[in-house]
Amino acid sequence: MIGVFGGSGFYELLADARSVDLPTPYGPPSAPPMVGSVEGTEVAFIARHGTNHEFPPHLIPYRANLWAMRELGVGRIIAPTAVGSIYPDFAPGQFVIPDQLIDRTWGRAHTFFEGPETHHIPFADPYCPDLRCKAAAAVRAVVGVVHEGATTVVVQGPRFSTRAESAAFADTGWHLLNMTQLPEAALARELGICYANIAVVTDYDVGVPGEVSPVTHDEVLHRFGEALDTLRDILFQLAPDADGARSLPCDCAAGAPT
């Protein structure tokens, strides 16, 4: 089964979906999982922020969400998110398939292994290479242009960056800002689930002096909302391919405990 985490405003994917009541050892997921099909492929969907956007990034029950996906039989997760750009070539409205992550969060439950059993997963490449390739192909098929390869710095939120923070991130060579990719991606890896992000650029973070004002939450929701129909088309293009044979080597499950 393919799993999809909905980003900001992306609360409905499957018109024929059925709700599943699925408790987990970590409490309930953000929202009841919805299970349906896309072009004959079974898909499970969870609204990452809750049905009414009631969970800010630092309070999302990430472990419950990932555990629920595994219990449903999900082996590959597609994770659309809204992102801010700190790289001029990645403009609002464009799509990016990142390949690296930087963690600047704190206080979140980052692992399923808190003792007495411990486990250290390999995480050099946080996204599945095969699923990334297929996601890029799906975006290209729908919108024609996709940026492949970028580093996303995941900040704590819910506030946006200061100008100094944004400048420091950009000077380091990072490209995108997000608030939810971690610990989500790492928890997927702990469970041996392939994971890839489709990033929708909604803003230029602190803005472009003299041209663009600093980002607001309303702007993020508006821009992401404008992309929903396109994202739906991308996911309908991607889901059957993601469920098929791998075209690139994948060892996402290699480090997961049995």
pLDDT tens-digit readout, 141-175: 999 999 999 999 999 999 999 999 999 999 999 99
Q: Which residues pair with 18 in a beta bridge?
A: 35
27 lies in some domain: yes
56 lies in some domain: yes
Work out the pLDDT band at 56, boundaries 50, 70, 90: very high
Work out the pLDDT band at 246, boundaries 50, 70, 90: confident
Cα distances from 41 to residues 46, 53, 148, 199, 244, in angstroms, run 16, 27, 25, 23, 10
For residue 141, give its domain range. Answer: 2-242
Check 130, 205, 241, 243 and give the catalytic one: 205
Number of domains the chain is built from: 1
Q: Is 211 exposed, middle or buried (0-12, 13-18, 19+ CB in 10 A)?
A: exposed
Contact 154, 199 (CB under 8 A): no
182 lies in some domain: yes
d(CA 99, CA 128): 9
249 lies in some domain: no
Q: Residue by residue, what is the 3-state secondary structure of 175-211?
A: CEEECCHHHHHHHHHHCCCEEEEEEEEEECCCCECCC
- Helix or strand or coil: residue 15? coil
Mean pLDDT of 29-33: 94
- The DSSP element (H or E) to which 138 belongs, if any, is helix 129-143
Check 16, 21, 125, 203 and give the catalytic one: 203
The enclosing domain of 49 has a CATH number of: 3.40.50.1580
- Give 33's contacts (C-beta < 8 A, 6+ positions apart): 19, 20, 22, 44, 45, 46, 68, 69, 72
* Pairing mode, strands 18-19 and 34-38: antiparallel
21 catalytic, yes or no?
Answer: no
pLDDT tens-digit readout, 203-229: 999 988 777 889 899 988 888 888 888
203 catalytic, yes or no?
Answer: yes
User: Cα angle at 129 between 128 and 134, to 5 degrees?
Assistant: 100
Lowest mean pLDDT among 72-76, 129-133, 236-240: 236-240
257 lies in some domain: no
